[in-house]
Every structure is written in C-alpha cells, then in structure tokens.
Structure 1
Amino acid sequence: MSERKVLAVLLDRLDSLAPMGYNVGLHIRFATPMIYKSSYPEAWVEYYNAHSYYLRDPLVFWGVGVEGTTRWSAIPLPDPFGVMKKAAAHGLNYGAVSSYGPITSRSIVGVSRSDREFSDAELAELKEITIRLHIEAKPSSDLTRAQIEALQYVANGDRNSSAAVRLGITESAFKARLNSARYKREARSTTDADKKARDYRPL
C-alpha cells in the first residue's frame, strides 16, 4: 500500500473517532506542517484562520511543549483569547489532542465531538493513529525549508520562473534549491522528482 493510501486509511479512522472533525499537522518544522489536513466545521476553520488562532491556541502550545495524548479539558494552559470557548460555540465542545515526535519535527493531531468527553480507549486509539501518521509521513531525507518550498511549488504546477518571483529569488537560485532537493530525495528524473514532491502537498 502506498504512503498516501496508508495516510488516507488513518484519516478515515480519525473520521470515525471524531464526529465533529479533526485537525492534523504532521512534521511541523519552522512553525509549518509538511502535511496539513482539517475536517473541522468550515465556519470554525475560517474563523480560526482569520484570527490567526494558531499563534494563540493553547492546544498548539501544549502539543509543541508536551509529547503525549490528553483531553482538552485536562490541559492546564491559560486561554486568554478564549479560543476554546469560541470553538465550543461552533460545536466543538469536547476534544483531545495528541503530540508525537521530536520538537524539531513534531506532529500534532486534534479531534473533537459535541456530546461527551473522549474515553480512555479512544485516547489510546488517537495516540496510536498519531504515531502511525507521523511515521508514515516521515520525509525520506532531511530537507531545508527552502528545498521543501521549491518542491511544493513544482508539485503545485508552478514554472521555475514564476516560483522564483514568488519566493523573491533568481530563477538560477530556485533551480539550485530544486536540484539539491531532488538530489537529497534521490530522484532519478524530473517525473520522479515531481512525484516525490507531492509528498509535501496537503492531503
């Protein structure tokens, strides 16, 4: 089974576990996940992003600072911006969060429901899914942020010239980043490199 199919199966398990949706950020580096997926209510996602709550969310702070799995209600961090109350207003009344991996490449998964707290068995399942998502999505080599960006632009169909303009660098500098990323990923051809680059696109 391919990596993307395995990830899809694991996300299906999260769907079953979380009636109000889930939020997945895998291999967070430089404050950005390499893979991101959310099935929370669209209105909440839009509101959350519009207010940059990822910079203020106690769940994110907990996940970055602690490796483990817990219910939202058990997190002792302050919530001065009322993120959790606002989430509840969108139906996310109860939830759990799981964090796994080194601080330099942490994966954080959140799940929610409206009717009750998650059980201990459900927390154990969330932990297992988080660990498996982290392992399955592990990059095949350590790339720099610049190299990852270059691969993402290629995977999104950008031409080298337009990607360079968007990054504020010369086309030759962009090509150098792309070539070094391809070398690290052991891509044998442009087609192979583009296929590998898709690893860095949102699911």
Structure 2
Amino acid sequence: MSPRADINAALRTLNRLTPVGYFVGLHIRFAAPLMQFQTYPEQWSEFYSSNGYALRDPTIAWGFSTTGACRWSNLPVPDPFSILKDAADHGLVYGLTTSHGPISSRTIASFARDDREFTDDEIQEISTTVRRLHSITEPPASLTKAQKEALRCIAEGDRHAAAAAKLGITESAFKARLISVRERLMARTTAEALQRAKEYRLL
C-alpha cells in the first residue's frame, strides 16, 4: 500500500469512530503541524478560529505536556475560557485527545462524539491509528542529490525541458526525479513537494 493510500485508510478508520469529527495535527513543529486533517462541523471550526482558541485550548496544552490518550471529561488541565463547554454547545459533547511523538515533532489529535463517551476499545483503536499516521508521515531525513537538483531547478523557475538540459538529462528522466521526490515527501504536486522540502529544511 502506498503512503497516501495508507493515510486514507487510517482516516477512514477515524471517520468511522468519530461521528462528530476530528482534528489531527501531525508532526507539530514551530507551533504548526506539517500536515493536518479536520472534519469538525464548519460552524465550530469558524467559531474556534474567530475566538483564537488554539492558543488557549486545554486539549492542546495537555497534548504538549504529555503523551497518551485522555477523555475530555478527565483532562487535568484548566479550561478558564470554557472552550470545552463551547464545544459541547456545538455538538462536540464527548471528546478524546491523543498525543504521540517527541516534543520536537509532536502529533496531537482530538475526536468528538455527541452521544456517549469513547469506550476503552475505541480509544485503543484511535490511538493505534494516530500512531500509524504519525509514522507514515514522518518527514524523510534527507533527499537524494538528484531530487534536490530537480527541486532547485523548479524553485528557480526552470521549465522541465530547460531543467533537463541544465542537468544534462532527458526531460523524461527529469520528470521521473520529480515523481520520486513527490512520493518521498507525500506531496500531490511538485509545488507542494517544494514547499515541504523547505519546511523540512531538506534544501
């Protein structure tokens, strides 16, 4: 199974287990995730963003302080801005947050239901799925010299034919390098691959 197919399979599992939605922030570095997925109701997402809750969210504070899984009803972190009450008012009545990975590349994910608490078995399955997503999306430690050369040509604005000529290879060989770097960085487009390479500090 390709990394993209594996990611999609994991997300289908999360969709099945979380009827009201979820937010998964993978490999949070410099206060931003390298990749994220979100299925919460649009009204809640807009309310959350407009109130600047990300910097005050007790689930995120808990996720940075430890690893594991915790039901929102058991969070040992203060919620002075009543964010969890606001979430419940928007249908996110029962929740779960998981945290995984080193603090330098932490994955934090939250999940919601409107009918009941998550069971222990569901928490185990969700936690396993989040750990798999974290592993699948681990940024590569490096790119090959050929992959870096191809991306640098794109960054400099070269078209495929010009880049191939500059590198002394055929245009099809150049395109093959771009395909390989997109696969390595799990990017849908070359532009996305270039952006991720910069974010991962691989160029």
Give TM-score scaled by structure 2 length.
0.73
The equivalent residue for 1:189 is 177
Number of equivalences: 164
Rg comparison, structure with higher value:
2
1:98-145 CA distance string (max 9 Å, x none): 1100000011111100011111111111111111111111111279xx
**Is the Cα–Cα contact under 8 Å of residues 99 and 107 in structure 2 kept in the other structure?**
yes
- 1:103 & 1:128 partners in 2: Cα distance? 19
Residue 115 in structure 1 maps to residue 115 in structure 2 = yes
Structure 1 residue runs without a partner (length 5+):
144-150, 162-186
Match of 1:62?
A: 62
**Residue 26 (structure 2) aligns with:** 26
Question: What does residue 132 of structure 1 align with?
Answer: 132
Aligned-pair distance for 1:192? 3.7
Corresponding position of 2:51? 51
Identical columns (%): 41
Q: Which amino acid aligns with 1:78?
A: P
Deviations 1:12-71 (A, max 9, x none): 000010010111000011111011110010110111112221101000000111100110
RMSD, aligned α-carbons: 2.5
State the AA in 2 paired with 1:8: N
Q: How far apart are the structure 2 equivalents of 1:27 and 1:142?
A: 16
CA contact (8 A) 2:70 2:96 kept: yes
- Contact kept? 2:140, 2:184, Cα under 8 Å: no
Whole-angstrom CA distance in 1 between matches of 2:90 and 2:16: 19
- When residues 41 and 142 of structure 1 are mapped into structure 2, their CA distance, relative to the original with a 3 A threshold, is farther
2:105 maps to what in 1? 105
User: Equivalent residue of 2:130, what SS?
Assistant: helix
Name the TM-score, length of structure 1 as normaliser: 0.73
Secondary structure of the structure 2 residue equivalent to 1:189: helix
Corresponding residue for residue 75 of structure 1? 75
Cα distance in 1 for residues equivalent to 2:112 and 2:15: 10
Structure 1 runs (4+) deviating above 3 angstroms are: 158-161, 187-197
**Gaps spanning 5+ residues in structure 2: where?**
158-174, 194-203
